[in-house]
Amino acid sequence: MRFNIKKHDGPARLARLTLNGKSVNTPTLFSLPNSVVFSNTSGKIDVDSEDEILVDNDGIKILIPFKFQMLKKDLREIGANLLSKNADILVSPPYVFSPYHIDKALKKSIDRHVKIAKEWKEVVVGKDVASYVLGGGSETGRKYCAEELCKTGYRFLILTYPTSMLRNPRKLCNFLVSMKKGAVPDSLIYFSGPVYPSYYAHLIYVGIDTFDSSALILSAKKGLMIFQDRIVPVNKIETNTCYCKICSTYGPKEINKLDHEEKFRTILSHNHTIAISKINRIREAIRYGELRELVEKENHNSPSLTAFLRLLDHQHYNFLEQYTPVAKSEPLICIGSESYYAPQIHRFRKRVQERYMPLKDLAVVVILPCSAKKPYSTSKTHKKLRYATKSGAKNKIASIGEVIITSPLGIVPRELEDVYPANAYDIPVTGRWEKEEIDITAECLSSYINKLNKDICVIAHVEGALKEICEIVMEKTRKEILFTDIQGALTSKKSLSSLEKLISNVTIHLTGVLSPKSRKIDFYRKITDYQFGKGSGELLIQMNDQIIRKRQLTLVQDRNGIKIAHLRSYGLFALTIQGGERLHPLGSKYLVKFDGEELKGNSLFAVGVSYADPEIRPYDECRIYDAFSKLIATGRAKMSGNEMVQASSGVAVQL
């Protein structure tokens, strides 16, 4: 079995599963084969077949043995029996135990289950194997079971979960995350049992790879038609809203008139189309890195989904963030409150708080509102505001820092405006702020103000809710903020001149202002700090370096013209070998250890990685050292650090 992860979006992944020479792209849907689905129509139940077979569209067959064969036959006999059947992957017979076992009893039962799984591998030599992740209602139990199975070499894990608990988002979310934490990152997770398509996006977002068609069959048997956002009994549909092959052939009334058997087949076929289109939609979203946005949209399908995402964001931020890329090329769309704690956004706020320090030798900080156009400095408003600032400060412009307040990012210092997601987020702007947005932003701004020197003068050119935020911050930090006199719009002549005057008043007597060149270097050091952690800016960019723009690229060169780094489109630095050398004092930070002989081509595969900084996220720039602690390359991570170490396949770093 091979399971190659091609692309991540959060914990979700696009991958290719290869079994017995057959391949399929995941996320996918396993179908119960027609012979099983239709075997009941005669009223006869097929109990003679002891085992069940699931099939994927591309013909992959999973064989699940009957649970209680174990008494009458031994494992070898069961294995021989299953081997004779034509399947691609054989599921080890589960050890059945009470879901209420705890502590020692639970561990013992799981150990027994894993032992069977271990023996199973030896029994069905040469075949691919899968196993159930058991552990009842216990999160730690499931985690332990997944861990142990992965240690035994299992990479195809089957989850079972009572459907009624799908309606309990808290349990579901804790359960899934702890299970995922236990499993090796490149193991396939199959969520078995009736899961309706409205859950797909959320579950895939957490890292589930496949589902089965049982929910589709179940609803078809009940005469329920599944649509993109709802499930309706076929006899209640008035007008046709779907144009799948089935629905464009039959209207709902016609389906209703069909005889029992035909009706079931028709509805099932429709449901299947919808489920597949949903899965394909999710695959596309992962491909374009917009799964988070899709999940936020799907959130509104049911309250339990909303609760699921909220709990996930708040309780499992670390898990989500670990897999969330630090960049993407498309804009990040934040529609509502569910975006406030999206991992990308939350991470930006955290990093600004933890890694970013204000510019050196500032005398004045201007607080500005955000603009719809990103980066801010390209917008009309900001052009006007900056012009006013400049003409107010005259030759002392280097002593002025700018910070933009915005939701849900909190604050964006001017230096970071080109960094993802600040460069590419999109929010509905109405001037009305929610309480939560105000709280988040006020907290970010206070933390920024607290970092400032006492004698720095803070000027705010804002109105409405933003002014309110500044007032809250003023009270919180006991730092005085001077407000400009805004008359009419922010960019009206009077407002602008008020800003200009205020700035000129506070800068006029300044002495010892930084030279524009050192200011420029400091500016880019802030980006480095944000990217690699506090202090890395001074390592990477030295005082006598040159920062130039060449063919629309911002380059950092040393005085001999040797390239150190350049800025990527999403505002983070790409390092050259020389740049990597300069970051040597960072130690293990953003470091990947390669234990092979020689790096060939332009990718480093996960197999060759012996150590990787767990802080590394997809799209992070990292330094690659060989076994003799010599820097051999730099490159862009394709997976997170933990994954590089644990995964046995896939590209870890693009050189």
CA-only gyration radius of the chain, Å? 29
Residue 378 buriedness (CB in 10 A; 0-12 / 13-18 / 19+): exposed
Nearest CB to other proteins, comparing residues 59 and 233: 233
Nearest CB to other proteins, comparing residues 137 and 535: 137
Query: Which stretches of 156-302 are DSSP H helices?
Result: 169-182, 200-206, 214-221, 245-249, 252-257, 260-287, 291-298
Alpha-carbon 230 to chain mean position: 26
Q: From residue 35, how far is each of 45, 46, 61, 87, 205 by CA, in Å?
A: 12, 10, 13, 15, 32
Nearest CB to other proteins, comparing residues 223 and 533: 223
561: number of Cβ within 10 Å: 9
Torsion of the alpha carbons at 363, 369, 372 and 374, rounded to the nearest 10: 20
The distance of closest approach from Cβ of residue 238 to other proteins in the complex, given in angstroms and rounded to an integer, is 22
Nearest CB to other proteins, comparing residues 137 and 533: 137
Alpha-carbon 125 to chain mean position: 37
Nearest CB to other proteins, comparing residues 64 and 575: 64
Nearest CB to other proteins, comparing residues 266 and 536: 266
Q: How many residues does the chain have?
A: 655
326-344 in b/e burial notation, b at 16+ Cβ within 10 A? bbbeeebbbeeebbbbbbb
Nearest CB to other proteins, comparing residues 104 and 478: 104
**H, E, C per residue of 233-257:** EHHHCCCCCCCCHHHHHCCHHHHHH
Nearest CB to other proteins, comparing residues 105 and 429: 105
Residue whose C-alpha is closest to residue 26's, from 51, 46, 44, 1: 1
Q: Which residues are CB-neighbours of 243 under 8 A, at least 6 positions away?
A: none
The distance of closest approach from Cβ of residue 403 to other proteins in the complex, given in angstroms and rounded to an integer, is 51
Torsion of the alpha carbons at 115, 117, 123 and 125, rounded to the nearest 10: -130
The distance of closest approach from Cβ of residue 167 to other proteins in the complex, given in angstroms and rounded to an integer, is 9
Residue whose C-alpha is closest to residue 195's, from 275, 126, 118, 98: 275
Nearest CB to other proteins, comparing residues 41 and 395: 41
**H, E, C per residue of 363-409:** CEEEEEECCCCCCHHHCHHHHHHHHHHHHHHHHHHHHEEEEEEECCC
Nearest CB to other proteins, comparing residues 134 and 469: 134
The distance of closest approach from Cβ of residue 72 to other proteins in the complex, given in angstroms and rounded to an integer, is 8
Q: Are 402 and 390 in contact (CB under 8 A)?
A: no
Q: Which residue has the tokens 């209420």?
A: 100
Nearest CB to other proteins, comparing residues 199 and 448: 199
The distance of closest approach from Cβ of residue 283 to other proteins in the complex, given in angstroms and rounded to an integer, is 25
Residue 484 buriedness (CB in 10 A; 0-12 / 13-18 / 19+): buried
Nearest CB to other proteins, comparing residues 96 and 508: 96
Nearest CB to other proteins, comparing residues 189 and 486: 189
The distance of closest approach from Cβ of residue 65 to other proteins in the complex, given in angstroms and rounded to an integer, is 11
Q: Are 618 and 638 in contact (CB under 8 A)?
A: yes
The distance of closest approach from Cβ of residue 106 to other proteins in the complex, given in angstroms and rounded to an integer, is 8
Q: Give the integer Cα–Cα distance in Å for 55 and 494.
A: 71
* Residue type at 39 in one-letter notation: S
Torsion of the alpha carbons at 252, 253, 255 and 259, rounded to the nearest 10: 160
The distance of closest approach from Cβ of residue 68 to other proteins in the complex, given in angstroms and rounded to an integer, is 6
Nearest CB to other proteins, comparing residues 106 and 424: 106
Q: Which residues bind other proteins (CB under 8 A)?
A: 32, 36-37, 40-41, 43, 45-47, 50, 52, 64, 66-68, 70-72, 94, 96-101, 104-106, 108-109, 132, 134-137, 158, 160-165, 192-194, 214, 217-218, 221-223, 260, 264
The distance of closest approach from Cβ of residue 231 to other proteins in the complex, given in angstroms and rounded to an integer, is 16
Please, what's the largest Cα pairwise distance for the chain?
A: 95
The distance of closest approach from Cβ of residue 265 to other proteins in the complex, given in angstroms and rounded to an integer, is 11
* Residue type at 547 in one-letter notation: I
The distance of closest approach from Cβ of residue 486 to other proteins in the complex, given in angstroms and rounded to an integer, is 59
Q: Give the integer Cα–Cα distance in Å for 172 and 176.
A: 6
The distance of closest approach from Cβ of residue 310 to other proteins in the complex, given in angstroms and rounded to an integer, is 23
The distance of closest approach from Cβ of residue 19 to other proteins in the complex, given in angstroms and rounded to an integer, is 19
Q: Are 417 and 423 in contact (CB under 8 A)?
A: yes
Nearest CB to other proteins, comparing residues 145 and 295: 145
* Residue type at 559 in one-letter notation: R
